[in-house]
Amino acid sequence: MTDSHVSDRLHARFELARDSFTLDVDLDLPGNGVSALFGPSGCGKTTCLRAMAGLERARGSLTVQGAVWQDDDRRIWLPTHQRRLGYVFQEASLFPHLSVLRNIEYGQRRTPREQQRVALEQAVDLLGISHLMDRAPDTLSGGERQRVAIARALAASPHVLLMDEPLAALDAQRKLEVLPYLDKLHQSLDIPVVYVSHSPDEVARLATHLVLLDAGSVLASGPTEALMSRLDLPLAHGDTASALVTAEVVSHDALDQLLTLHSKAGPLYLPTAKPHAPGERLRIRILAREVSLTRTPIDGSSVLNSLPARITDISDEGPGQVLISLDANGVVVLARITQRSCRQLGLAPGDRVHAHIKAVLLLD
């Protein structure tokens, strides 16, 4: 790795002790995309984020894109207002006496003009809020307020955008309203995002890099696709257990409203009325509960997606169930089946099987 690649990353080493909690983490995050800090309540996610922002005084060091914000050994400590960051909280926390436009301009004024990299108009267009500029915050929906808060953070041209469960205070409909805009952030702007969440669905959709935290320590850190399907980690278990697969659009059948996709694992078919251009790369999610297994191929089935695979691991998964990890030509797929089915099929690691996928979810 070259020095330029190293300097683009975010390095954080934090230690903090309280009466009932100890944080001891060493983070090395990419300088682009969305890095999610994931784990149960009280595991240290928000504490890490607040330490990055300088809102929490943890011992250690922090370097963001080559700039040292903290180094206790060298007695370097930048206060929050000197750190080039944007921070989005669970609640939008807009200034109630200012219009939407004035709220965003406040964020922009935090950064000297010569250092501004994100134009106010760019932030407004990216979040789809141009029609709200003259409105007062108390006239907005929860989803609109949060989009304004994100635009205000972006208008400061931050070197890193910190987001502390920005969807937690929203109902299901408002979350669906905001998610597409969060998707666009890392695609449109060269600003790394550190995203705190306890939602597997949000992590699967948004995160390119994942840090699993538990009791103030890092369980694992790496690409989201790899960590979500590892049986030795908590994300691979429970009702939301799933695998992420990257696939390329081959064609869209308007009559059947069906996408044909090419993946390393094999061809996949996805029902959708939304057309996608051939060659477009999509991220799809396959839930373990939607996968069944057979020893031999089956004909005459309504299931469109079937992949040959090899069993790599089998894990007990609660009363009467097992979770099976499969290698489909280098792509990990998970299947949750009953213990009886596993026993009747005589399944064991190394066996060749066929994975029949009842539903494929498009993460967009």
Instruction: Show the DSSP H helices in the chain as ranges.
Output: 3-7, 45-53, 100-108, 120-127, 142-155, 172-188, 200-206, 224-228, 339-345
For 171-193, what is each residue's pLDDT tens digit?
Answer: 888 888 888 888 888 777 888 99
Tell me the backbone φ, ψ of residue 58, rounded to 5 degrees: -100, 150
pTM for the model = 0.89
3-state secondary structure of 350: coil
What number is the average pLDDT over the span 327-346? 96
Q: Identify the pLDDT of residue 5.
A: 44
The Cβ of residue 74 has, within 10 Å, a number of other Cβ atoms equal to 9
Looking up tokens 């994975």 gives 355
What number is the average pLDDT over the span 32-54? 94
Q: Identify the pLDDT of residue 364.
A: 66
Lowest average pLDDT, out of 163-177, 252-266, 281-295, goes to 163-177
Q: What is the DSSP string of 198-241?
A: --HHHHHHH-SEEEEEETTEEEEEEEHHHHHT-TTSGGGSSTT-
Measured between alpha carbons, how far is residue 13 from residues 61, 136, 349 in Å? Answer: 5, 40, 39
